[in-house]
A and B are shown apart, each in its own frame.
Chain A
């Protein structure tokens, strides 16, 4: 067992405090005041969360939300990714399991499906990526065990190393019982429909897996505009690119059992739906989409992280049924409470909100039904 895992298991929730003041944090954060509050709340939250361990579920009384866009930062990952700071992410806010649980409790989140955010574990070295992916997955699985019912796990893969990814899929699903996998929207400027990744999608299709994608910044588009972080514009468009790549390569038609989940309400895709439908009319591409591009777009799932506002969700609702929209926060960049508040301003009915908060996600993750 890794030393940091022992620390997790033994620390009663107050773990990884080293991560709180990590070197990559700039002197501000997007939600500075809120994070300051989070820091102050860390100690009591740790107590609360230690009570929450075992069968107790303080958060279960209310909406019992399932947050499908929720980041975690294993110490090994923080250490490694901070070595490769390339402007993809503007900063990494403070994080610990205690802070995570405190935010979940405040926002009525019963379960958070953990995932690594951008930049992911690929920095050009296969062996290092395999080690990182495994450590992230072990750490996540340990959190799932430590706080029953509170966490699920999207396993990290060492892509674009396909062989390593196939091995990690086997381990993550068969041994760690992961709830799905997380993929960056591109690896080394290869979007997910690239033929290189076909064996990975074939295996995930066989397993009827949930594939959650998280945006990153393509290498073309780093630091293009002074004062504008990559997450502001480039994230959205990279999700849109990978959706196009998956659709027009025929990957989504070939893998009807994969449940694709896209971040941030689909990046920017819903807004430019007509560009997709018009392109799909082209003969060569129509052949790749025998049921039509709309069939695929309407079966995908979309999370609400950073998109719980009418500008995004009015557009998304024109495209898909409410059944395809999942609650997501982007914690620790945004809070659960903030996202909940945003959703109430989007004109959903109470029943629709319940579906977004929990019921839709239960179709993907039935083990959280209890």
Chain B
């Protein structure tokens, strides 16, 4: 495996950009194109940059919802398959570099971003999913080495390929020391409680792994509302579905050591929590939750990306302990500064905000504490 530094040696990443809002513009585009080719050429010695990676003061946020798009990932899956027409998607597909991540992190007080791929549904069922997943995870690991303390990794698995996923779990966790794994909320018509994925969860349970899930518009709902992107409604619902799937399949109880993180404050689950608790009380599910369904729901983690506003937070807070809420941005669709402002507007106390920004995630990811 060729170890290529991800550091953009020709581009300083700390606070040097004139203006982040100009990023989609031509000037920035040219710069990033330059940085990308520089990254491709530079050697592992780019890791020297690490000394610039002094821990920023301030909120020291740990962003658990932070997308990256390694050049090979984009090339293998095809930019046209990844790009969905939105400005955020353009940034991810055509402009992303580690420097772009770091710039937003520095602006928004993020100490560490745990990266995950964007548009992971494009990888599912790709004929070369195993190779692409491996190379993507290698890239993430290299970023972690190049910028110590700044990047963690949720390793992507070639699901729904279970054997390939088991192999990638072993490599990503044992060799690359990934911080957890990344899964889509569903693959085809299978949500994460599907019996097919049981061997994967068995292994992850044995390893006490963090599983970060990201939603998409599942195949079933494709094109359901003309002109309305799936991220608006379908994403949230698919997270809710996979939470239900993990619960009612018995997986949550069966695999207590897996630490599940759900995106976007749980999709829409908090708002309809009572539907969950009532169904759990029916005879059909009797005995399924020895400690109660709420125990399981409150054991999961929920990150705040795209949900850092009173509409979602007032609901989540009405039953969820603060300890389960993690900071997330959905970068490059949203910024760390933006999500940070949302938290303040949502009425959390400074102590609660500190826990969400850093403390809660630091317990899950002690190497970034």
Contacts and interface: CB of A to CB of B under 8 A. Distances in A.
Interface string A337-350: 00000000000000
Contacts of B2: none
A28 B273 contact: no
A335 to B, nearest CB: 13
Contacts of B306: 274-275
A220 interface: yes
A320 to B, nearest CB: 11
Interface of A: 27-28, 30, 189, 191, 218, 220-221, 224-229, 231-234, 236-237, 240-241, 244-245, 248, 265, 268, 270-276, 279, 284-285, 306-307, 309-312, 314-315, 317-319
A25 to B, nearest CB: 14
A244 B315 CA distance: 21
Nearest to B233: A240
B236 A233 contact: no
5 contacts: A228-B244, A265-B271, A279-B232, A309-B274, A312-B274
B96 to A, nearest CB: 21
Contact of A236 (B268, B284, B317, B319): B268
B245 interface: yes
A311 B273 contact: yes
Nearest to A227: B248
B270 interface: yes
B225 interface: yes
B225 A233 contact: no
Interface of A is mostly: helix
B271 A271 contact: yes
Contacts of A240: 233, 237, 268
B221 A221 contact: yes
Nearest to B283: A28
B272 A268 contact: yes
Given A244-B233, A268-B236, A275-B231, A30 B312 contact: no
B241 interface: yes
B285 A271 contact: no
B319 to A, nearest CB: 6
A201 to B, nearest CB: 17
A197 B224 CA distance: 17
A260 B73 CA distance: 46
B42 interface: no
Contacts of A241: 224-225, 233
A228 to B, nearest CB: 5
Interface in B231-254: 231-234, 236-237, 240-241, 244-245, 248-249
A268 B244 contact: no
Contact of A233 (B272, B281, B312): B272
Contacts of A236: 237, 268, 271-272, 275
B268 A228 contact: no
Given A226-B249, A268-B271, A314-B318, A274 B237 contact: no
Contacts of B273: 309, 311
Contacts of B278: 30
B285 to A, nearest CB: 6
Could you say which of B225, B279, B284, B306 has the most chain A C-beta atoms within 10 Å of its C-beta?
Answer: B225
A321 to B, nearest CB: 15
Interface string B209-245: 0000000000011001101110111101100110011
B271 A225 contact: no
Contacts of A309: 273-274
Interface string B176-219: 00000000000001010100000000000000000000000000
A294 to B, nearest CB: 12
B184 to A, nearest CB: 15
Could you say which of A226, A245, A273, A275 has the most chain B C-beta atoms within 10 Å of its C-beta?
Answer: A275
A316 to B, nearest CB: 9
A268 B307 CA distance: 13
A273 B311 contact: yes
Given A312-B271, A315-B315, A272 B232 contact: yes
Given A272-B268, A275-B232, A276-B232, 10 more contacts: A30-B278, A220-B224, A228-B248, A232-B279, A240-B233, A271-B312, A274-B312, A307-B274, A314-B317, A314-B318
Given A28-B282, A268-B236, A318 B314 contact: yes
B279 A228 contact: yes
B360 to A, nearest CB: 21
Contacts of B220: 220-221, 224
A65 B230 CA distance: 39
Nearest to B320: A311
Contact of B228 (A273, A279, A306): A279
